[in-house]
Each structure stands twice: as C-alpha cells, then as structure tokens.
Amino acid sequence: MTAKEQLARPGRRLVRPAPRDWLFAVGVGLVSVPLAFVAQGDNAHTPDVVGWILFALSALTLAWRRHYPMGTLVALIVVEGTYHSLDNAHSGLIAVTMVAIYALAVAGPRRRTLIVVPSLVGLSVIMLLLINPERGVELLRISGWILATAITGEAVRVHRNYVGAIVERAERAERTREEEARRRVAEERLRIARDLHDLLAHSITLIGVQTSVAAHVLSTDPERLDRETVAKALEDIAETCRSARGELRTTLEVLREQDVKADNRGPLPGLDGLSDLVEAARQAGARVEQTVRVRQAPPAVGAAAYRIVQEALTNAVRHAGPDPAVRVSLYEEQGALRVSVADEGTGPGADAGSPGFGLIGMRERARSVGGTLDAGSRSGGGFEVTAVLPLTTAVGEGTG
C-alpha cells in the first residue's frame, strides 16, 4: 500500500488547518517581525531573503499546531535550526517557539511533555555550549521561560480536562434523569394498564355471570318468576358497577395529575380485601374455599397478592366451567408469602378466544415485588396459579 493510499484511508487523512489556524499563524509571525530586527551577538544580523523565507515557514508551521503538535515542533526544529545556523536574529523566532511548546503541552499527554521539552532544552544547551558558549549561556538563561511555557500549557490542559469532565458528568446526569423519567412513565403506564385489565376483566366477568343468572330466571318459567332471585342478581350487578366505578375513578385520577407520587395513588388493595373477592366469586357461581394464614405483609406485597388472586378467580369463573370448585390459599413460609389458587374445572374451551394479558400481568406483579409466579394445568384436572412473594422485599413499594 502506497503512502498516498494510506492517507486516503479513513482515520489517516491529513487534517487541513482551519482558516482561523492560518490567521493565528500569520498573526504570530507579524508580532514576531519586530523581534527579527533586534540583532544579538557580533555575527547575528537582520534576516536576509533566505532568512525571511525561513522565518515565514516557521510561523506558518504553527497552523498545524492543534492537529499535529509533535510534528509541528519537529518541523520547527529543522526550520529554525537552519534559520539560526545562518546567524539570523536569534530573538526573531522566540514567540513562534514558545507557541509550539505551549501547543505541545496543551495537547498532552503529560508524559510526552515531561520528556520532550526538558530533553529538547537540555540537548540544545549542551550543543550550543560546545559550539558557541555565548549562545549556549543565552539559551540557558531563557530556558526557564521555555519550561514555564510548558508548565502553563500543562496547567491549561488539566483545567480543560477538568471542565470537560464536569460538562460530561452534567450531560450524563441529564441523560440519566431523562432515562429515569422515561422509565418511570413506562412503569406507570404498565401499572395503570395492569390495574385497568384486572379491574375491567373482573368486573365485566362478574356482571356477565350475574346477568346470565337473571336472564336464566326470567326465561325458565315466566309464570313462576322468582322475583327475589332476580332482584338479588340485579343488586349484585349494581354493587359490582359501583365498586368498579370507584376503582376506575382512582386509577384514572393518576392520568389527570401532572406529578403523581407513589403516596398519592390512593390506598392500595391488600389482603383484607380477599374476602370481598371470594364473596364476589361465590355470587358468580363458584364454590370457593379460602385459607389465609398470614399475619402481615408489606403494602406492595399485599397489593400484588390481591391482584393475583383477583385475576386467578376471574379466570376460574370464566374458564373453569359451571359451578367450579376453587381453593384459595395464602400462607407464610421461609420469609415469603405463598399464594395458590387452584380450580377443578375443565379449563378453557375451544371458544375461549385468543390468550389475553391475565397471566402476563400476574407474572409482572409477582416480579415487581421480587417474586415468581407459575401457572398451568394440574395433573388431576383443572388449573392452578402459584406465586412466591418475598415478605422482606423493598422493591416496588408503590406498585398497585
């Protein structure tokens, strides 16, 4: 591969100086012109034509200082060495040299600056002391300014890195805040979706069953109408609607608030509401046996258990067949709340429709408090949902 092809490869192209780099180089050269008329030493003189050409090349080399600081310094050594060897005014290129050393120190790294600048000054002083002691002593006299320039460049580099790190941390913190806000919005939307699914699925299932009971009573024997049964079914429907309306209002209030904290979501459903779920399932025709042996549970764990039992009972009423036998069991074991809802029904039939989000929602609720959930058909027939919810978890305390 030729040198031209290497320069054409991505990442290896020669960077062209920007217009401001050329202007800066020209400006340093113009500022240094008066110094070129100050001849020092017996043999030093004002630059001639060749000297001015070397002078201009030295100044223009600074245009590459930001992109190639080490290359710029090496080029200056060659051009300035020729300039000084012709006994041109030695003070003419002092500013150009200082700018090149400063640019090298600002670009870093520190190790390169600490090696290159002292080595360059030391070798230059030694060589001049051997060739021209007077000029060597003069260079030794101004070497302090050269080292000070390098130290100033290093200080500027450290300050720029410090400011850059602060800006980067601020930008990272801003991105983190935005990502956290998006995550919280997504979690809140998911929580509301789960609540609405559980609420509406449970309520609509109960209303459907209770409506079917009333319709069956009305159509079986109109002449011997059991008004008490019909009234009870309609009253159950009205109570289910009132309960669903209250929960729905609480859930929708979250959508209307601009800044809603976890504490402002209203009371979370808990284990004390399990008896209402069992009673509602019994009114829908299920034969439910309830066993609860739990002393106390964190609010988030209690809410997760409530929603899991609610969805499991809803599925049992919908899919387990007529008059399903359901066993609800909650108990503590090894620092965890174990939930089990098992039915002895026939399971979903061919007309059950496409799978919904019930099982997905139950698993999400279990995971929100650090627990696990399993659901599937039982070996002896029926369907069972089991969940293990840690009682000591601090995860998802605001989960509804």
Whether 8 has a pLDDT exceeding 50, the answer reads no
Range in 3-7, 62-66, 242-246, 330-334 with the lowest mean pLDDT: 3-7
The closest alpha carbon to 36, from 19, 24, 54, 20, belongs to 54
Across residues 54-66, what is the average pLDDT? Answer: 93
Across residues 283-296, what is the average pLDDT? Answer: 84
Across residues 352-361, what is the average pLDDT? Answer: 65
pLDDT in tens, 298-316: 888 988 898 899 888 888 8
**Token digits of residue 316:** 């049992």
Most confident of 119-128, 135-144, 165-174, 177-186: 165-174
Reduced to 3 states, what is the DSSP secondary structure of residue 387? Answer: strand
Cα 218 from Cα 224, distance rounded (Å): 9
**CB–CB of 246/240 below 8 Å?**
no
At residue 388, the pLDDT reads 93
Cα 298 from Cα 303, distance rounded (Å): 9
Whether 7 has a pLDDT exceeding 70, the answer reads no
At residue 256, the pLDDT reads 62
Reduced to 3 states, what is the DSSP secondary structure of residue 348? Answer: coil
Cα 90 from Cα 97, distance rounded (Å): 11
Determine whether 300 is exposed, middle or buried from the number of CB atoms within 10 Å of its CB (0-12, 13-18, 19+).
buried
Cα 54 from Cα 89, distance rounded (Å): 12
Q: Give ∠ CA 344-348-349 in degrees, rounded to 5.
A: 120
Type of residue numbered 281: A
Across residues 67-88, what is the average pLDDT? Answer: 89
**CB–CB of 391/337 below 8 Å?**
yes
228 vs 292, higher pLDDT? 292
**Token digits of residue 52:** 């001015």
Across residues 55-78, what is the average pLDDT? Answer: 92
At residue 287, the pLDDT reads 87
Cα 294 from Cα 273, distance rounded (Å): 13
Which residue matches tokens 């601009």?
258
Range in 87-101, 120-134, 249-263 with the lowest mean pLDDT: 249-263
Give DSSP secondary structure letters for 13-55: SPPPPPHHHHHHHHHHHHHHHHHHT---SSS-B---HHHHHHH
Q: Categorize the per-residue pLDDT at 130 as very low, low, confident or very high, splitting at 50, 70 and 90.
A: confident
CA 36, chain centre distance (Å):
58
**CB–CB of 39/45 below 8 Å?**
yes
Instruction: Spell out the long-range contacts of 367-376 with Cβ–Cβ below 8 A and sequence spacing 24 or more.
Output: 368/300, 368/304, 368/395, 368/396, 368/399, 369/298, 369/300, 369/301, 369/304, 369/393, 369/395, 369/396, 369/399, 370/395, 370/396, 371/301, 371/304, 371/336, 373/308
Type of residue numbered 346: T
Whether 126 has a pLDDT exceeding 70, the answer reads yes
Across residues 176-183, what is the average pLDDT? Answer: 86
106 vs 379, higher pLDDT? 106
Whether 58 has a pLDDT exceeding 90, the answer reads yes
Type of residue numbered 114: L
151 vs 214, higher pLDDT? 151
**Phi first, then psi: what are they for 374, rounded to 5°?**
-125, 145
Across residues 163-167, what is the average pLDDT? Answer: 93
- In 143-195, the DSSP E strands lie at none
Q: Categorize the per-residue pLDDT at 43 as very low, low, confident or very high, splitting at 50, 70 and 90.
A: low
Q: Categorize the per-residue pLDDT at 262 as very low, low, confident or very high, splitting at 50, 70 and 90.
A: very low
Q: Categorize the per-residue pLDDT at 389 as very low, low, confident or very high, splitting at 50, 70 and 90.
A: very high
Q: Categorize the per-residue pLDDT at 340 as very low, low, confident or very high, splitting at 50, 70 and 90.
A: very high
- Stated length of the chain: 400
**Phi first, then psi: what are they for 87, rounded to 5°?**
60, 35
Number of neighbours of residue 228 by Cβ within 10 angstroms: 9
Across residues 207-223, what is the average pLDDT? Answer: 69
Across residues 210-216, what is the average pLDDT? Answer: 70
Q: Do the bridges between strand 336-343 and strand 372-377 make them parallel or antiparallel, or are there none, so unpaired?
A: unpaired
At residue 393, the pLDDT reads 53
Q: Do the bridges between strand 325-333 and strand 336-343 make them parallel or antiparallel, or are there none, so unpaired?
A: antiparallel
214 vs 50, higher pLDDT? 50
**CB–CB of 323/285 below 8 Å?**
yes
Most confident of 18-22, 195-199, 319-323: 18-22
Whether 67 has a pLDDT exceeding 50, the answer reads yes
**Token digits of residue 123:** 């070798």
